[in-house]
Amino acid sequence: MRPTEMCLLKTRQPEHHPRCDGNADTSPGAAAMSTQNTTLRGLGYAFLGFAVFASHDALIKVLGGTYSVMQIIFFATLFSFVPMAVTILTDRTTGNFLPHHPWLVMLRSGLMVTSMVCAFYAFSVLPLAEVYSLLFSFPLIVTVLSIPVLGEVVRGQRWAAVGVGMIGVLIVLRPGATEITLGHLAALTAAFCSASASVLVRKIGNEERSAVLILYPMLLAIAVMSLVQPAVYQPPSLLHLAMMALVGIFSVIAQHLIILAYRAAPAGVVAPSQYSQIIWATLFGMIFFSERPDSWVAVGASIIIASGVFVVWRESRANTSANTPVLRVRSPRSDTGASARPMF
């Protein structure tokens, strides 16, 4: 585009282009300051998004004491369908809603629905901080799954991080010292299914429309949950129905905020911010559910988080990872439903 054309388009751009505005500061210091401000804005979006996710999970815990997770997911998905439909309608990509890889799209959709069911159940029966500690094994599982699915070459340091992270999981679970419940198994299953869905979307995402990747998991969730409603349905009060609506709406809001964060700041900066959820989980657990932090869970969670951050750091280094499977996950919470706009 010629400089004169850029000037004509100036009114449509939020920032002045240096060729059109003689007063624009193009010094290295100004550029660095602009980059820093953009990064800080991205981090703000990320921390706010994960705070909304934590609120979403606290609502699930409240509702899980009265209703089946199948009913919660059914209504939450219904209420999130309208804003998601708007996102689908604004997708400018040409094409129809038929997937190029139907079996892989359906497999991913099934994994996402399974992850939702397991995560919702875990939040219903376990302390919030304990669930997060186990869900945080997600990047470690992604690292391992990327080897057979994406052909990723994982060398010694990342393998060591995975091994140390798994020790952290064992510290949280303490097999033999405490009972491993169905809730613990559900949380680990949610992490595995979410990681599997994320690796699959890395494999097929460039060939599928965002609309397809959004629509199919939502339709599958609604279809499956509607089939089981006759067995689990309890008439909700108006307050509880509003809370179920908030679960769906919070999911959409949080995922949009995470997407904005990744657009504004480098992935290596944004990705570790997901661990801020453990802070909210601890606070919400203490204030609303009389949960007291467990020292063993704190130790295990710290090890898991440190391992995950190390994996992100290693992937962000040049010539370390060909596929950067963890860094490119733009929606690390597949257990909340379809991402508002999957990014690869």
Contact 276, 50 (CB under 8 A): yes
Instruction: Give the tens place of pLDDT for each residue, 117-175.
Output: 999 999 999 999 999 999 999 999 999 999 998 888 888 899 999 999 999 999 999 98
Phi, psi of 227 (to 5 degrees): -65, -30
Q: Kindly tell me if the per-residue pLDDT of 24 is higher than 70.
A: no
Q: Kindly tell me if the per-residue pLDDT of 79 is higher than 50.
A: yes
Alpha carbon distance 266, 222 (integer Å): 35
Three-state DSSP class for residue 239: helix
What average pLDDT does this structure show over 63-78? 96
* Least confident among 176-185, 227-236, 333-342: 333-342
Contact 74, 225 (CB under 8 A): yes
> Residue type for 332, please?
P
Quote the pLDDT of residue 271.
85
Residues 6+ apart with CB under 8 A from 180: 173
Contact 275, 168 (CB under 8 A): no
Burial of 274 (0-12, 13-18, 19+ CB in 10 A): buried
Assess if residue 120 is contained within a domain.
yes
Assess if residue 251 is contained within a domain.
yes
Q: Kindly tell me if the per-residue pLDDT of 70 is higher than 50.
A: yes
Quote the pLDDT of residue 326.
78
CA atoms within 13 A on the CB side of 324: 17
What average pLDDT does this structure show over 229-249? 96
- The residue whose two tokens read 């990327």 is 146
Assess if residue 228 is contained within a domain.
yes
Number of neighbours of residue 213 by Cβ within 10 angstroms: 24
- Residue 332: which pLDDT band, with cuts at 50, 70 and 90? low
Instruction: Give the tens place of pLDDT for each residue, 247-285.
Output: 999 999 998 898 889 888 888 888 888 999 999 999 999
- The residue whose two tokens read 């020292």 is 295
Question: How high is the mean pLDDT of the chain?
Answer: 84
Quote the pLDDT of residue 10.
40
Quote the pLDDT of residue 338.
54
> Residue type for 305, please?
I
Burial profile 160-175: b = 16 or more Cβ within 10 angstroms, e = fewer:
ebbeebbebbebbbee
Alpha carbon distance 149, 235 (integer Å): 43
Provide, rounded to the nearest whole percent, the portion of the chain with pLDDT above 70: 82
Chain centre to alpha carbon of residue 324: 16
pTM of the model: 0.85
- The residue whose two tokens read 């660095």 is 32
Assess if residue 23 is contained within a domain.
no
From start to end of the chain, where are the E strands?
A: none
Alpha carbon distance 289, 58 (integer Å): 9
Instruction: Give the tens place of pLDDT for each residue, 91-114.
Output: 666 566 788 899 999 999 999 999
Burial profile 126-149: b = 16 or more Cβ within 10 angstroms, e = fewer:
bbbbbbbbbbbbbbbbbbbbbeeb
Tokens of 278: 């453990």
Distances (CA, A) of 225 to 2, 83, 217, 279, 310: 55, 20, 12, 32, 38
Assess if residue 21 is contained within a domain.
no
Quote the pLDDT of residue 154.
87
Residue whose C-alpha is closest to residue 314's, from 138, 143, 141: 143
Assess if residue 2 is contained within a domain.
no
Quote the pLDDT of residue 95.
64
Alpha carbon distance 50, 54 (integer Å): 6
Over its C-alpha atoms, the chain yields an Rg (Å, rounded) of 21
Phi, psi of 91 (to 5 degrees): -70, 115
What average pLDDT does this structure show over 323-334? 67
Assess if residue 39 is contained within a domain.
no
Alpha carbon distance 295, 188 (integer Å): 20
Q: Which domain holds residue 143?
A: 50-336
Q: Kindly tell me if the per-residue pLDDT of 286 is higher than 50.
A: yes
Classify residue 174 by its DSSP letter: -
Contact 69, 337 (CB under 8 A): no
Q: How many domains does the chain have?
A: 1
Assess if residue 244 is contained within a domain.
yes
Q: Kindly tell me if the per-residue pLDDT of 336 is higher than 80.
A: no
Instruction: Give the tens place of pLDDT for each residue, 25-57.
Output: 555 555 556 667 788 999 999 999 999 999 999
